Structure 1
């Protein structure tokens, strides 16, 4: 299995014409990464080509002679440096300025003044994206070389890789792979139940439902960008912490967008993975995040995932709550009809709620099984 976290120290190129900014970044990053420092664009281009090629570049936008946007364009035009992720450092906040940077090839922006937690999180996220790209490239090479004789085996490996990528995010949130399996099966069941409804039949073909189910384990992949102190906090998050947590759908979308860019071709699996990662926290009445989408603006794949994810969360043990009963969970989802959830999906859910419960039992976490057995013994 491809390792997403490398054992060696990554190399980061810092580019800024202001010594004070370089001093801050150096102090923040020197213990974790190997650093190269450039004070102007031409030196940055030279250092970017030196072996080992940098794993990531932090690039100031406003510099004399050659600004950061031009440096980025030249990096992307050079085959040696084209794949290095570039994060712009800027005091500008206009969307038009950011659009120019993204068109030049940047993967992200960090706004000044620099906040240590934001800098660390963005760097870690984009290095993990690079790991994911490497894993997918290796996987695609294997497919091309051996597809004729090992198609079935490779497809199983692909499914396992997808699940492993989902587990990577879930384990940081103290979840289990069984959560991914349960929500995958909930989504498949709910989609098949509603597939003939006039509102959904045009999209919910058997093939599309299977692609949605395959992509479901990646719904929280963006949590790789959330600091451990927030993910593992035993109590309620502060407003500031929750604001950071609400970034995980956007991080997930960005990770999958980067994979799509590398592959350079349309993929239903990646389309649905992106929709689900970005949209599963949206709500039918528009009160969700990150976009505040309302009603049919939310992709059907994300609406299916939202209900599946909430049902599983209600039944699951958390540091802040015990597991709810199946009936209590059903009642809560009924209360969310027309507010949190698409009303037609809730109606379909109620038709197969007993089957949801069977999935929850079949793929129960080991701790919950032990607790259920103890409760049964006490009652009998």
Structure 2
């Protein structure tokens, strides 16, 4: 009994010593930081800043500046807020109020529109840098998840593809075309452990945005996230679009072969692309630039005229959401979701703000004379026949009066 009591007393002493040590540590840490730690820095609690500017001045007196500030008007913003608000709303606690869904969306849209750093946004919106870094990717994810089904869905109905082909024929004078395909490098600061993986031929670090665009500059398919070392053709070869286009079961329900206007040979509906992509039954690309005949030069101009639609779409996207013009100082996963959000917002605004979200539709063709031929010349007879059929159409039944000048 005496031995048991002594052991119990010893344990009590040890526990008491532990409690004293813990209390001393807490006291020292508290005294050390008591003059420089805040739950919220006092100047961040002030109501002035861009949030107040947007909610009061722009909204009441200058709606046009509201549109320029966020890339959308107030009614479109409210519609978007109704879609994403329930997902990004946080519950208030007895300790403090949470940041509202409206404020989160305002800060995120400004971030996408300008590409400002989180620290710069902190001084503008009176929201701490660390808080902005937490909710911006979440808001971007919410935007993409809630809008993609309505505004960024790959067509799977034959009638939709036929409408796209009709638009290409009406606007860009090329029939049997269901899209323009190309890739864009999204530049960011890659982590040191993976710099060689994301290093591209331009001497920067990037991930690739592969996009299929229709005649009205709408993204119909996007693939984001492949490292910049991979060529556009390599990204396409590993994409779900490639597997769907060349699947014998035709999961996308692409229309059946059809002859060009005024001609007899039935050919597939194709996607126009540049020299980085492989020529095939579904991909139409220019002839090699060496030793071309006059007919081949006209073919190249007409194909490049239709293919520039995807280049224009990238230009509109980057100029509206200027985060894509800057080097993004985030990890690849966050860069990916930011790019997805920008693409779906582009489609959303093109449909909801047709009058103000306009592209520059210049008819001046930028001809890529500096491109070198890529890949081999061992195309199948069927593939050559398809390209030759388009060449004959462009030089005969489908001739346009200005093509010889170009």
Q: Shared fold by TM > 0.5?
A: no
User: Which entry has the higher C-alpha Rg, 1 or 2?
Assistant: 2
Greater relative contact order: 1 or 2 (C-alpha under 8 angstroms, separation 6 or more)? 2
Q: Would you tell me which structure has more helix in proportion to its own residues?
A: 1
**TM-score normalised by length of structure 2:** 0.29
